[in-house]
């Protein structure tokens, strides 16, 4: 089954604190890409970070980093030093060999001033 699971429908974090969003997925493929997308109220889909499954090193983009556990099929997103502009819906997604993206159901992140 091509499933991506985000078990946290909503999360909140204090400004300047750190928050981790969870994602697990199912696949029989050995090589694939994983993504986190941010969707602010403008509804634009913005790529936050990308991880290639064959790479052991966890991807990092400024304040955003992932904890990729391939054997456990887990791909969590850590946001450090949270800012008000980080408030958004976050989607985890996995790309199949046919270049199709499967998305999770999303986690709505609230940042508390």
Partner 1 sequence: EAQVTQNPRYLITVTGKKLTVTCSQNMNHEYMSWYRQDPGLGLRQIYYSMNVEVTDKGDVPEGYKVSRKEKRNFPLILESPSPNQTSLYFCASRGGPVGGYTFGSGTRLTVV
- Non-local (6+) Cβ contacts of 44 within 8 A are none
CB of residue 43 to partner 1, shortest distance in Å = 5
Task: Give min distance, CB of 13 to partner 1, in A.
Answer: 21
Question: No. of H helices and E strands in the chain?
Answer: 0, 12
Is 50 a binding residue for partner 1 by CB under 8 A? The answer is yes
Q: What span, in angstroms and rounded, lies between the C-alpha atoms of 88 and 90?
A: 6
Q: Which of 7, 12, 14, 44 binds partner 1 (CB under 8 A)?
A: 44
Site residues, partner 1 (CB under 8 A): 4, 6, 9, 35, 43-45, 47, 50, 91, 93, 98-106
């Amino acid at each position: 089954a091509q499933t991506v699971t985000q078990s946290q429908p909503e999360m909140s974090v204090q400004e300047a604190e750190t928050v981790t969003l969870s994602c697990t997925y199912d696949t029989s493929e050995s090589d694939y890409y994983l993504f986190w997308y941010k969707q602010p109220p403008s509804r634009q889909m913005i790529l936050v970070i990308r991880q290639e499954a064959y790479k052991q090193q966890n991807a990092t983009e400024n304040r955003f980093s992932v904890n990729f556990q391939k054997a456990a099929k887990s791909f969590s997103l850590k946001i450090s030093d949270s800012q008000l502009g980080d408030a958004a819906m976050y989607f985890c997604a996995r790309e199949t060999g046919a270049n199709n993206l499967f998305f999770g159901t999303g986690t709505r992140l609230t940042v508390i001033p």
